[in-house]
Amino acid sequence: MASDMNDYFNKKKNESQRSGGGFQAPKPPKFDFNMGGGNKAGVFWLIGGFILLLVLAKPFVIINEGERGILSTNGKYEVQALLPGLHFLIPVIQKVYIVDTKVRIINYADKIDRASTAGDGILVKPSITVLDKRGLPVGIDLTVQYRLNGQLAAQTISNWGFSWEDKIIDPVARDIVRNVVGQYEAENLPIMRNTIATQIEAGIRKSVEGQKNAPAELESIQLREIILPQKVKEQIERVQLAKQEVERAQQEVERAKQEALKKETEAQGVANALTIEASAQAKANQLIANSLTPGLLKLEQVKVQGKFNEALKENKDAKIFLTPGGSTPNIWVDMKTDHTQKISSKE
């Protein structure tokens, strides 16, 4: 085969010599990286591939307000949570978990429409069933508002995991409600509602906020409804009706007392008025008696005698004129009319 190649090159050399030119080896092709259209496309493909690599690898993360980022490097959580903003990370080696630090709600209720109330940050759980002091079942509807402690979010997730609220808030709320309600009898729960609500809130706050590293912040705890057994409801209704009857009777008695007191006051007022009037009259009579001297009485007798004399002038038929004891009252008899008239009386 080597001889064949030598024959080929000797033949080409002889042909070149006959044509007057020398043998020239073929030149390699040249590429223009500056202006060639195909080369531009290659650059674009290179840039596009780099961008695609960035998108697929995603070496950055954006954290929004109301969120925190838990940075994991080779499976180990960083102690400090990432704040809202843009953060770069090493693909494959590092990963960021987003956790919600906005206010979240757990509604413990059976009558709430779960489909219409459950949503972002809202959990709906069955009513808390507890036993009262005598062992009767009672349902408690409760609403708990809370949020993840953003400053210690990484430690909370590291200790409790991403289902931390099911391990902290839910069991604590149920345990405190059972302990508080178990101290009372069912029929007294509506009466002690405000006290029970205060005790439940204080107990849940103390238990949750007393956890190591304060994983959650409680916003509010609301006791919405106390669901009693039907027999207890009927008993309470009967007691309420009896109380209403007693109150109505007491009101009637009080009204009668007020009316009697009013009449007694009026009678006392009349008696006092008569007493005052009699006392005044007695004082007046005493004053008059003290003022009747013998001379004054004689003067009054003369005045009355003068009136009789005037009357006798007009009544000519008068037959008898009597003056008993020589003093008033003076009586005269009118024979014409055949009856006695009392003209004047003066003591």
Rounded Cα distance, 213 and 156, in Å: 8
Across 4-13, 161-170, 280-289, the highest mean pLDDT is recorded for 161-170
Convert the pLDDT of each residue in 83-134 to its tens digit: 999 988 888 888 899 999 899 999 999 876 555 455 678 899 999 999 999 8
What values do phi and psi take at 129, rounded to 5? -90, 125
Tell whether the torsion through CA atoms of 27, 28, 33 and 35 is positive or negative: positive
pLDDT surpasses 50 at 288: yes
Q: Residue 243: which pLDDT band, with cuts at 50, 70 and 90?
A: confident
Q: Residue 221: which pLDDT band, with cuts at 50, 70 and 90?
A: very high
Rounded Cα distance, 318 and 321, in Å: 8
Task: Work out the average pLDDT over 15-27.
Answer: 51
pLDDT surpasses 70 at 319: no
Higher pLDDT, 292 or 43: 43
pLDDT score at 332: 52
DSSP class of residue 97 equals E
pLDDT score at 247: 82
Share of the chain above pLDDT 70, in %: 70
